[in-house]
Amino acid sequence: MWDEHLADFRAHLALEKGLASNSLTAYIHDVELLRDFAIHTLAKRPEEINRNDIGTLLVHVGSIGQLGARSQSRLLSGLRAFFRYLTLEHRVPGDPTDAIPSPRMPKRLPEFLTLEEVNAMEACIDLSAPLGHRNLAIIETLYSCGLRVSELITLRLSHIYPDEEFIRVIGKGSKERLIPIGAKALRDIENYRAVRATGPIARGAEDYLFLNRRGKPMGRVMVFNIVKDLAERAGIPKTVSPHTLRHSFATALVLGGADLRLVQAMLGHESITTTEIYTHLSDADLHDSMMLHHPRSRGQ
């Protein structure tokens, strides 16, 4: 019964909700945690799960250190979606998550890099190496455009408009948006394209901008490793990921006075509340570390 409900929920998320692969995987993982707990610990079917069972699961995953507070909150969100689906399909008598309040989480300010730190990362790249220009273009595009890593690795050559200084991005839920791209990022991409044209290009990968050594589209893990390695080589004492560069993009704009709605549109946030976390970064000492609006827009 659990597996049948899980398969139908997966299809619902993919076909009706149009969730991206990563989001879909996260939701399914949440339900799998409950399924395993219900089968092996509670010996219960989906329709027998009640509010206390959900609470017991949250306490369990917290006590064994499996999930932190924020992850527990996200787990509850995933289980809410699952039981709301089952309730609408009349497969359970009621939603056991209905009466469970969402935990109030403290606002965590996103880690970001200064312009000097981004420059230090880029300075570590050996442009004489075969993939040097590619890696430089990756860092610069992440920083200048605020892309998610999934958006970066699916960026197409045909979606870059250098004359208009825009790129077209396919975001979450296959939603498209246009993002301005600065002069430096365009130069770095153009330099990489010249090198890219001399290497192997796999069938079906002709329109993908960023390719691996074999000429195939890059994967998420490869981009994470490139960013992490460059940050370590630059001596940056932070945990740096592609998302850190996305935060840096947004922080530079908000601290420079950019309209929050425009930042929301460029980041592809559905809700303005997601973007509002950057408004908590307006301390005077942070202003000194960032230039007016985004410095790359002026080719620096």
Residue type, 184: K
**Annotated catalytic residue, options 12, 74, 220, 243:** 243
Kindly state the DSSP code that residue 103 receives in the 8-state scheme: P
**Annotated catalytic residue, options 172, 193, 287, 293:** 172
**Annotated catalytic residue, options 85, 278, 294, 296:** 278
Task: Tell how far CA 142 is from the center of its chain.
Answer: 11
Consecutive H or E run containing 178: strand 176-180
Separation CA 20–CA 18 (nearest Å): 7
**Annotated catalytic residue, options 148, 196, 247, 296:** 148
Told to judge if 269 belongs to the known catalytic residues of this protein, a careful annotator would answer yes
What residues contact 176, with CB distance under 8 A and at least 6 apart? 168, 169, 170
Question: What would you report as the CA-atom Rg of the chain, rounded to the nearest whole angstrom?
Answer: 22
Separation CA 295–CA 44 (nearest Å): 57
Told to judge if 192 belongs to the known catalytic residues of this protein, a careful annotator would answer no
Separation CA 109–CA 89 (nearest Å): 39
Separation CA 133–CA 111 (nearest Å): 26
**Annotated catalytic residue, options 12, 156, 269, 287:** 269
**Annotated catalytic residue, options 80, 133, 246, 294:** 246
Query: What are the phi and psi torsion angles at 205 (to 5°)?
Result: -105, 10
Separation CA 21–CA 102 (nearest Å): 25
161 pairs with which residues across the strands? Answer: 166
Told to judge if 172 belongs to the known catalytic residues of this protein, a careful annotator would answer yes
Catalytic residues: 148, 172, 243, 246, 269, 278
